[in-house]
Amino acid sequence: SQTIHQWPATLVQPVGSPLSLECTVEGTSNPNLYWYRQAAGRGLQLLFYSVGIGQISSEVPQNLSASRPQDRQFILSSKKLLLSDSGFYLCAWSASGGIYFGEGSWLTVV
């Protein structure tokens, strides 16, 4: 069966510091992968998606970036975090019938 893991689970970062969140999927090949963010008082928002290695699409302009260096690895990065980047970041993969989320990463920017 397919599983998805992401880390770290929680982190507190100062404004202006870099960020790297990592996600890996097991049990499937060439998955479509996604990064969503859930900010306080707001719904889930799609940030990036990837249909293959090196193929990244951005849904919203921001100071975040994503990369897919391997088939089952998806990374979310920032060079300089803003306070507004705080939130719950979720990696997901899609199959027919919906998308499936990882455990999530709680980011607090202070």
Which residues of this chain interact with other proteins, rule CB under 8 A?
32, 34, 42-44, 46, 49, 51, 57, 59, 88, 90, 92-94, 97-104
Residue 27, both tokens: 């049990």
Nearest CB to other proteins, comparing residues 65 and 94: 94
Nearest CB to other proteins, comparing residues 16 and 57: 57
CA distance 8 to 22: 8
* Residues 13, 32 contacting (CB under 8 angstroms): no
Nearest CB to other proteins, comparing residues 19 and 91: 91
Angle at 50 between CA 53 and CA 40, to 5 degrees: 140
Q: How far is the CB of 48 from other proteins (least distance, A)?
A: 10
CA distance 1 to 6: 17
CA distance 67 to 96: 24
Nearest CB to other proteins, comparing residues 54 and 98: 98
* Residues 24, 83 contacting (CB under 8 angstroms): no
